[in-house]
Amino acid sequence: GTVSRSEATKSSVSAQVLERAKKSLAGGDSSTMRVLPYHIPLVADRAEGCRLWDVDGNEYIDLNMSYGPLLLGHRPKAVIEAVTRQISEQGSQLGFPTEVTMRVAEKIKKLFPSIELLRFANSGTEACASAVRLAKTYTGRNKLIMFEGHYHGWSEAVFTKYHAPLEELPECGYGQAIPGTSGMGDSIKDVITVQWNDLDALERALAEHGPDVCAVMMEPISGNAGLLMPRDGYLATVREMAHDAGALLIFDEVITGMRVSAGGAQEHYLVSPDITVMSKAMGGGYPVSAFGASAEMMQCIVKGPLFHGGVFSGNAIVMSAAEAVLDTVLADREGIYGHLHSVADQLANGIKDIYSRLNIPAQVNHLGPLLAAMITKEEVDGLYNYRDVRRHADFERYIQFQHWMQQHGVYFHPNEFEPMFLSTAHSSQDIDEVLERWEEGARQCLV
Ligand code: PLP
């Protein structure tokens, strides 16, 4: 077909850089998710607000926003100012307790009442690993229940093969977790994965393993598998079932924290976990995570025997960035989340409208500034768990469509499981522009 708006972008400089990078960086970059075989090469040069430019000079409206951290957009002024002040006047890494770390902790507690004491770390992976150790220490139990399609980082404790082929998943809805990588040793033997949104499967898993289970750990919205919302009452029931078994409930709010609502999914759904993990949005683009729980539980760290450390945990640059994000959010919660929800509604409704007018089978899931616009192989009534998505989503056509969109100035991740992230920097006009291209891309690739 013809390309009416503009010529497709070129990616020759990006391709050259990646070829050269492959000689020094394994696979060309430091995260496999950024250099998948079906990615069109895109080496980023700079970004501002909701726009990003690559080394070939192409401009994109960014709907990936670095997988979630950029709640306030690329290079938000408040964060730049706070970080600049910290670096130039106080120091980037002081190696002692600092006031800014204390203030950030206090501000997080304002947003997350379930947290009485917390610790900072550098990545979601680290904080999830510590959260699991905390649950194991506090309960004296060793088994962990998780959910199919849920991702809690790549540590030994939790890295299951979360996008496993259907035939590898147990028919009964739960079973021994499959390791997510080579080299994990036996740690994953203590993990049981259960089908998401399936209370019967969880009940059977708890009946079999209950007395050994330290915690039921979940993404309260299944954000790494097509953004699958919990069914009505599901989270509260899981919490009750976990507690009845003497196990804790861990919410991994790395994606949802300060995103679906200032106080995360626990605020949105009014269900409190025992342990919370957060990261991404709280840092505004700087590498930070946190895990927290009741003061009593956190005595495992205060008094021992649980160790937690990290040279860069609570790093001053990162803390000053997080404080700027928190201050921005605390100063105008309604304004910020009102805007995020409104641009996301506009995008989701616009996409639904395009797909329905063009008769494209699809499933658009969204809550707040999180959105998954999945293309399916046929019309489906609803996708409730990882297996549904794996079975019905059309991964191949989604990649073709993503390629077209990337070549026409709109970027989102080519893996259909990955959600899109909006920010306060996305305006209604930006969304109009996205939708205009979306319609053309859909006509070119999906009809
Ligand atoms: N938990 C969730 C829900 C995530 O989406 C991710 C990363 O995408 C992680 C944990 C791991 O975080 P990190 O990549 O910072 O280690």
Asked if residue 222 has its Cβ within 6 Å of ligand 1, the reply is no
Q: What is the pLDDT of residue 10?
A: 85
Q: Is 60 helix (H, G, I), strand (E, B) or coil?
A: strand
Q: Is 151 a catalytic residue?
A: yes
Is any atom of ligand 1 closer than 6 Å to the C-beta of 122?
Answer: no
Q: Which of 280, 286, 386, 388 is catalytic?
A: 280
Domains of the chain: 12-75+334-445 (3.90.1150.10), 77-331 (3.40.640.10)
The confidence score (pLDDT) of residue 1 equals: 35
Given a cut of 60, whether residue 6 has pLDDT beyond it is no
* 153 Cβ inside 6 Å of ligand 1: yes
The rounded Å distance from CA 70 to ligand 1 centre is 14
> Could you tell me which residues come within 8 angstroms of residue 341 by beta carbon, excluding any fewer than 6 positions away?
368, 369
pLDDT at 7 exceeding the cut of 70: no
Q: Ligand 1 centroid vs 222 CA: distance in angstroms? A: 12
ipTM of the complex: 0.99
Q: At residue 366, what are phi and psi to the nearest 5 degrees?
A: -155, 145
Ligand 1 mean position to 152 CA, how many Å? Answer: 6
Cβ(125) – ligand 1 distance below 6 Å: yes
Please provide residue 320's backbone torsions phi and psi, each rounded to the nearest 5 degrees.
Answer: -70, -35
pTM of the entire predicted model: 0.97
pLDDT, average across residues 121-126: 98
Given a cut of 90, whether residue 5 has pLDDT beyond it is no
Note if 143 is an active site residue. no
- Reported as a single tens digit per residue, the pLDDT across 231-259 is 999 999 999 999 999 999 999 999 999 99
Edge-first strand listing for the sheet containing 275-278: 117-121, 289-293, 275-278, 248-253, 213-218, 143-147, 191-194, 174-176
